[in-house]
Structure 1
């Protein structure tokens, strides 16, 4: 049981990943996160007048092994500790961070506190690490409040290399540089320089009176199908006939275009008639699907394909898995995929 104080309080949750790896100065080997080691390598944390507690996955997991059961574990940790902390910082490997951030944005309904995911490209113990700045700033953002005492950023975000981004709008774009993440279709919620400059008009408005409603259920019978010139009918048919398949994220060309071959449209139409939900998103890193714009998009609409608007692949696939896990009708899922439930697409809420 945690004791509340007048000091800002942050729970640090370490799942795994580069940021928590500490280099053993004698052997040069990388060792896993230990909170005492972290305080030693980031002594600046002691200068925060905050109560910082930690929870670590044991054993830590490589982010390549992240899956829905771990998302549910994170939700459980946040829900259990929700009343005892002002905000939460999740240290996470960069490879699947955008998937986790997207999933949590749907699973933490009525979230009214910051949940900030961050990590690093270099271990926190190395001399030029980006982890130290990312961690310190993420903690500061997680604890930040307006003059009325309400959290400044009551949503799931990724903080990386001086940018605070909405979690379900963010994609990893770089495996080499420190600016590893980008939110192409939604502006940054804050930029960090000498000061942290928040953009209140871009941050989700929350009803503080509503209690947090945690969700834990997922159905992972989803696939991402990326189109390319020359894609064969046998491949498309095999994907659409995978046993148990319930939904497809279809990555099309440009603003939602696809081949006009008769067999292709027929395969999609037959799949949607079997109850498979097909969501159209663009392969482009920036921009949105506009299915009414060109004839090819109109043919997809006629085949029962629905628009994913300007959704990221990470957001589209986790949203489908989330909705499929909640015993909704096919019609309800299709409607929710076309509307914004956590700020994930540029469509007004219905």
Structure 2
């Protein structure tokens, strides 16, 4: 009888988790993932087939771009039939952007794609990287009745499995670096891994994975603040090639009652620029009908981003604009949940 062991592909893009300290210089250096078992010998206790793919050279997460997202999708798509799940090791700074982007690019995903990393290098004695890596692998391989338990793009960090496009980095110092403010965790990890099936998206079993690769990064984030100047807003909204704006407003979607601001936003939307309103608050949602200061934005053609994270709103706009959808279509999709990224009710 042939036993089929669970199989996981590790994809190392770069970041703190994959670094070791040079014993001579004390500097942090990327180590070769062919030596993974040496640095994480606990992996040998898994009865899994674990393979790895390493970006060469590794990318600091501050340098992450849509081209790298497309590369990740190509790697996953090419290896899709050969593995039960995928673990992406990634720097923490832009991990939520990558997770959000991949959630839109991997349409009808039926296998786990788990992003993780660490605050301390995996070669450091107190590293959080080992636990994050080991648990991410276990989640990526987990099945019930032959089907993946979590067929989503997720971030696993510090005992919480979170939907990738709901997650944002909130801490540069502590191990609990990520939080999903507007959607509860898909699993909590203690002595046991406690999954929450009712919160997990399920694919359409009649359809295959559909990978996407197109992005247009002519998108900008415009954050409102007391005293913001007309000249600054005007220059941003008239930037050559601009296609879409994520407008970060106060509270439940409110903006200063300035005649010039309303005029600039109205003119921008009339030129076909998509403007999506999200709150600057960590949790909560935009409700533009609630106050006059929000209603004025609705009347300019600004659309609600509901409870979207900034990472999700930006990557979703890049994705939709890159695929050549019309302004009307983009406005529709931005107010529709296509990968569990917003809550409408």
TM over 0.5: yes
Q: How far off its partner does 1:22 sit? A: 1.4
The answer for the alignment partner of 1:166 in structure 2 is: 163
The answer for the alignment partner of 1:89 in structure 2 is: 87
The answer for the alignment partner of 1:118 in structure 2 is: 116
Listed as ranges, the matches of 1:205-244 within 5 Å are 205-244=202-241
Give the Cα–Cα distance (whole angstroms) in 2 for the partners of residues 317 and 5 of structure 1: 44
Give the Cα–Cα distance (whole angstroms) in 1 for the partners of residues 26 and 218 of structure 2: 42
The TM-score normalised by the length of structure 1 is 0.97
Match of 2:69 among 71, 85, 88: 71
The answer for the alignment partner of 1:251 in structure 2 is: 248
The answer for the alignment partner of 1:12 in structure 2 is: 10
Give the Cα–Cα distance (whole angstroms) in 2 for the partners of residues 39 and 24 of structure 1: 19
| Farther off after superposition, 325-334 or 205-214 | 205-214
The answer for the alignment partner of 1:46 in structure 2 is: 44
Give the Cα–Cα distance (whole angstroms) in 2 for the partners of residues 324 and 69 of structure 1: 15
Native 8 Å contact 2:218 2:242 kept in 1: yes
Native 8 Å contact 2:110 2:202 kept in 1: no
Q: What is the SS of the residue equivalent to 1:251?
A: strand
Listed as ranges, the matches of 1:306-317 within 5 Å are 306-317=303-314
The answer for the alignment partner of 1:182 in structure 2 is: 179
Give the Cα–Cα distance (whole angstroms) in 2 for the partners of residues 176 and 22 of structure 1: 19
Match of 1:24 among 17, 22, 25: 22
Report how many residues are paired: 344
Native 8 Å contact 2:166 2:312 kept in 1: yes
| Farther off after superposition, 204-213 or 220-229 | 204-213
The TM-score normalised by the length of structure 2 is 0.98
* CA RMSD, Structure 1 to Structure 2 (Å): 1.1
Q: What is the SS of the residue equivalent to 1:275?
A: coil
Q: What is the SS of the residue equivalent to 2:206?
A: coil
Q: What is the SS of the residue equivalent to 1:137?
A: helix
The answer for the alignment partner of 2:283 in structure 1 is: 286
Q: How far off its partner does 1:230 sit? A: 0.4
The gaps in structure 2 that reach 5 residues or longer are: none
Native 8 Å contact 2:255 2:294 kept in 1: yes
**Alignment pair present for 1:322 and 2:319:** yes
Native 8 Å contact 2:86 2:113 kept in 1: yes
The answer for the alignment partner of 2:262 in structure 1 is: 265
Give the Cα–Cα distance (whole angstroms) in 1 for the partners of residues 259 and 27 of structure 2: 57
Q: How far off its partner does 1:26 sit? A: 4.2
The gaps in structure 1 that reach 5 residues or longer are: none
Q: How far off its partner does 1:5 sit? A: 6.3
Q: What is the SS of the residue equivalent to 1:231?
A: coil
**Alignment pair present for 1:157 and 2:178:** no
Match of 1:193 among 182, 185, 190: 190
Give the Cα–Cα distance (whole angstroms) in 1 for the partners of residues 27 and 253 of structure 2: 47
Q: What is the SS of the residue equivalent to 1:164?
A: strand
Give the Cα–Cα distance (whole angstroms) in 1 for the partners of residues 220 and 114 of structure 2: 28
Give the Cα–Cα distance (whole angstroms) in 1 for the partners of residues 32 and 234 of structure 2: 49
| Farther off after superposition, 19-28 or 299-308 | 19-28
